């Protein structure tokens, strides 16, 4: 656990030191759970967004994009159920006066059981060596099975109690499991209460006529209210999808864990409209497609798992999370939800307008069913960033900090250095920058010894360093150093563009997901 915490602290401080993420309004001591993306962070975030967008919109001829406004007519949120049901169960510790999400306290307890399972696996792996069969061990070891059963039973009970709004039982569960406040160690809890997560604001200048608005808590509703507009103007035939990326706002009760849980964050959502009755097949298909997409980032298959929901949201008939192994354990990265016809029907009822699709093959009209994929861009950023950050022991006994970002996502693709600041080398290096900048984000650096410059770029995540030396002046070749292997190659300046392009091309990554 201590090791995990250390790693997480390193992630947070590295993100600041290398210009990825800053606390919002830091000069005023910050605003809790709100963050700013800095000069490198904004590039990484943009690249992740672009990869998602192209995978969804460009690669699928039946998915189109949308950019709906953050402000929406307030009835939207009545229809969607957010006014009445977008609540989190909160509980206060009477001694520390700290507020927690009751479900998160319970989930963290189950997370500790998962950690115990991992410990058993690691112990057995050590004992049995190469002959160790992890799958069989997990399926048969009595202690592991015990932890698994206990965890599943706890989550099931919690799910059922939340579904039935039985908040007294959620508190009883916390007491039975003897969950203590992480801060005070006390088990002196208040009752569990519901808390609405939407931020309210007002539209209009005069107090009398101002209209109460909400900052959208999800991007999805902008898609639902535009369903017919897009379907008709795009002549879309079911099945088809609408994709959108954009800000969402939630007044989170527990806002810790850096950019994992923010009050202002960005979602990348796709709503896929299907014939009623086919939603289960599409749901399974999207689960598979989305996992494959995540795996294409190369962060390691062991870091992902599905978690099927016991507690379903008011709109869903099936739901699963793709969980990722963050520095603080497995947590939700993306949700895949079979949302039924709940949203479109609710908007029909509340708007009094017919929202139906005429299916030419069936010769009938219906309200389509929806399968949603919803991933948090900030969580994806954290997943990529935290797995990329490694301390590497080198053969010469030193260590280097390297941010092994997938090259396609890296903010800067190449740094160009003159070996020394004289003899015409800076001019040649700057000329290379001028040529490459039409295709890639590149930078020039001449400060400090070249070894130090390499380390700086390793830590910033730049996949290539190009060095101009005296030989360059005679034969127009340079050395290119690869971040991850530290290997150096000598090659003509003229071949740089193709070499870098091969490594950072989004097209190649998109092929991997097909």
* Binding residues among 228-287 for ligand ATP as defined by CB under 6 A: 250, 252, 261-262, 265, 267
- Choice between 253 and 493, CB closer to ligand ATP: 253
- Choice between 236 and 336, CB closer to ligand ATP: 336
Place of tokens 């798992």: 305
Peptide bond between residue 239 and the one before it cis (omega within 30 degrees of 0): yes
**Does residue 333 touch ligand ATP according to CB under 6 A?**
yes
Instruction: Name the minimum Å distance from CB 333 to ligand ATP.
Output: 6
**Does residue 290 touch ligand ATP according to CB under 6 A?**
no
* Binding residues among 112-131 for ligand ATP as defined by CB under 6 A: none
Instruction: Name the minimum Å distance from CB 407 to ligand ATP.
Output: 24
Q: Which stretch binds ligand ATP (CB under 6 A): 1-9, 41-49, 282-290, 327-335?
A: 327-335
CB 336 within 8 A of CB 290: yes
- Choice between 99 and 134, CB closer to ligand ATP: 99
- Choice between 169 and 252, CB closer to ligand ATP: 252
- Choice between 106 and 460, CB closer to ligand ATP: 106
C-alpha distances out from residue 164 to 76, 167, 449, Å: 25, 8, 65
Of the residues 41, 89, 376, 426, which one makes contact with ligand ATP according to CB under 6 A: 376
Instruction: Name the minimum Å distance from CB 328 to ligand ATP.
Output: 12
- The vertex-195 CA angle with 189 and 201, nearest 5°, equals 145
Q: Say how many residues touch ligand ATP, by CB under 6 A.
A: 16
- Choice between 202 and 256, CB closer to ligand ATP: 256
- Choice between 267 and 457, CB closer to ligand ATP: 267
- Choice between 335 and 411, CB closer to ligand ATP: 335
- Choice between 120 and 264, CB closer to ligand ATP: 264
What's the distance, CA 115 to chain centroid?
22
Q: Which stretch binds ligand ATP (CB under 6 A): 76-84, 147-155, 157-165, 333-341?
A: 333-341
Instruction: Name the minimum Å distance from CB 322 to ligand ATP.
Output: 8
**Does residue 417 touch ligand ATP according to CB under 6 A?**
no
CB 387 within 8 A of CB 44: no
In 3D, which of 164, 166, 171, 205 has the Cα closest to residue 188? 171
Instruction: Name the minimum Å distance from CB 238 to ligand ATP.
Output: 24
Residue 111, sorted as left (phi over 0), alpha (psi -120 to 50) or beta, turns out to be alpha
With a CB cutoff of 8 Å and minimum separation 6, the contacts of 186 are 93, 94, 95, 96, 180
Query: What one-character DSSP code corresponds to residue 93?
Result: B
Q: Are strands 442-444 and 414-418 parallel, antiparallel or unpaired?
A: parallel
Of the residues 378, 383, 403, 417, which one makes contact with ligand ATP according to CB under 6 A: 378
Instruction: Name the minimum Å distance from CB 482 to ligand ATP.
Output: 32
**Does residue 332 touch ligand ATP according to CB under 6 A?**
yes
Helix axes 167-176, 142-163, angle to 10 degrees: 150
Closest residue by beta carbon to ligand ATP: 376
CB 461 within 8 A of CB 443: no
* Binding residues among 334-353 for ligand ATP as defined by CB under 6 A: 334-335
CB 116 within 8 A of CB 185: no
**Does residue 323 touch ligand ATP according to CB under 6 A?**
no
CB 283 within 8 A of CB 336: yes
Distance CA 308, CA 318 (A): 8
Instruction: Name the minimum Å distance from CB 259 to ligand ATP.
Output: 7
Cα torsion 66, 322, 345, 165: sign: negative
Exposed/middle/buried for 245, CB within 10 Å: 0-12, 13-18, 19+?
A: buried
What's the distance, CA 162 to chain centroid?
26
Of the residues 82, 216, 294, 379, which one makes contact with ligand ATP according to CB under 6 A: 379
With a CB cutoff of 8 Å and minimum separation 6, the contacts of 454 are 465, 481, 486
For ligand ATP, the binding residues (CB under 6 A) are: 218, 250, 252, 261-262, 265, 267, 332-335, 374-376, 378-379
């Amino acid at each position: 656990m201590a090791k995990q915490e250390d790693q997480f602290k390193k992630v947070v401080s590295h993100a600041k030191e290398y210009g990825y993420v800053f606390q919002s309004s830091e000069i005023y001591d910050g605003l809790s759970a709100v963050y700013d993306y800095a000069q490198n962070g904004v590039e990484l975030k943009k690249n992740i967004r672009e990869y998602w967008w192209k995978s969804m919109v460009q690669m699928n001829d039946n998915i189109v994009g949308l950019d709906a406004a953050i402000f929406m007519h307030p009835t939207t949120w009545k229809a969607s159920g957010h006014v009445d049901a977008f609540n989190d169960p909160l509980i206060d510790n009477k001694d520390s006066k700290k507020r927690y999400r009751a479900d998160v306290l319970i989930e963290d307890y189950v997370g500790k059981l998962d950690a115990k399972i991992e410990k058993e696996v690691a112990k057995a792996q050590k004992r049995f060596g190469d002959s160790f069969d992890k799958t069989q061990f997990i399926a048969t070891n009595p202690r592991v099975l015990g932890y698994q059963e206990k965890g599943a039973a706890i989550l099931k009970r919690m799910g059922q109690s939340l579904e039935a709004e039985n908040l007294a039982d959620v508190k009883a569960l916390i007491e039975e499991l003897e969950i203590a406040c992480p801060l005070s160690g006390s088990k002196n809890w208040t009752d569990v209460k519901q808390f609405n997560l939407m931020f309210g604001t007002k539209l209009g200048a005069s107090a009398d006529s101002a209209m109460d608005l909400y900052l959208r808590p999800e991007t999805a509703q902008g898609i639902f209210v535009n369903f017919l507009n897009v379907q008709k103007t795009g002549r879309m035939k079911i099945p088809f999808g609408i994709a959108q990326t954009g800000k969402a706002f939630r007044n989170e009760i527990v806002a810790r864990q850096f950019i994992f849980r923010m009050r202002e964050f960005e979602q990348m959502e796709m709503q896929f409209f299907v014939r009623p009755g086919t939603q289960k097949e599409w749901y399974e298909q999207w689960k598979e497609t989305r996992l494959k997409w995540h795996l294409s980032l190369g962060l390691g298959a062991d870091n992902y798992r599905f978690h099927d929901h016991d507690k379903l949201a008011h709109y869903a008939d099936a739901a699963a999370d793709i969980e990722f192994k963050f520095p603080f354990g497995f947590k939700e990265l993306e949700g895949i939800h079979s949302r039924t016809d709940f949203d479109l029907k609710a908007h029909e009822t509340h708007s009094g307008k017919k929202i139906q699709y005429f299916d030419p093959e069936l010769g009938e009209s219906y309200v389509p069913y929806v399968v949603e994929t919803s991933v948090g861009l900030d969580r994806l950023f954290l997943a990529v960033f935290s797995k990329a950050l490694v301390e590497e022991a080198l053969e010469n006994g030193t260590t280097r900090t390297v941010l092994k970002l997938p090259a396609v996502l890296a903010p800067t693709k190449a740094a160009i250095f003159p070996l020394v600041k004289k003899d015409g080398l800076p001019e040649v290096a700057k000329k290379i920058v001028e040529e490459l900048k039409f295709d890639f984000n590149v930078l020039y650096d001449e400060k400090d010894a070249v070894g130090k410059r390499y380390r700086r770029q390793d830590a910033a995540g730049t996949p290539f360093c190009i060095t101009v030396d005296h030989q360059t002046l005679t034969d127009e070749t340079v050395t290119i150093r690869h971040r991850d292997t530290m290997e150096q190659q000598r090659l003509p300046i003229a071949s740089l563009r193709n070499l870098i392009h091969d490594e950072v091309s989004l097209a190649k990554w998109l092929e991997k997901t097909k």
